[in-house]
Amino acid sequence: MSKHVQEPIEKFWMVWGVQRGQPRYRHPSKEAAQTEARRLANEAPGELFVVLAAVDAYLAPVLDAQPVKLVKKSVDPRPVHPLHDEAPW
C-alpha cells in the first residue's frame, strides 16, 4: 500500500444556493462567503443561500495495483458428450 501524505489545506467556506446545485468556489474567509451569500440573495429574491464551512477533511489511502498471475486454463482430458456439454443449464 502506498503511503500518501496529504499536505494541510487551508480552511475555506462555500456558498450553497439551495435551488441552484453544488457550490464551486472556495472563499478564503467566513466574511467573504457571507458577503457573497448576501449579494446572491439580493440578486435572487426568494432563493436561499447558505454559508458552509469546511470543518473536517479525510483522505483514504491510495492502494498500489498488485500483479495477478495468469495461468493457462487446464484442459479436462475427458471427452465432452455432445448432449451434455459444459453449458450450465
Residue 10's pLDDT band, with cuts at 50, 70 and 90, is very high
- For residue range 12-68, what is the model confidence (pLDDT) as tens digits? 999 999 999 899 999 999 999 999 999 999 999 999 999 999 999 998 888 889 999
Check: pTM over 0.85? Answer yes or no. no
CA distance 53 to 37: 13
pLDDT value at position 78? 73
pLDDT value at position 86? 62
**Do 27 and 13 contact (CB within 8 A), yes or no?**
yes
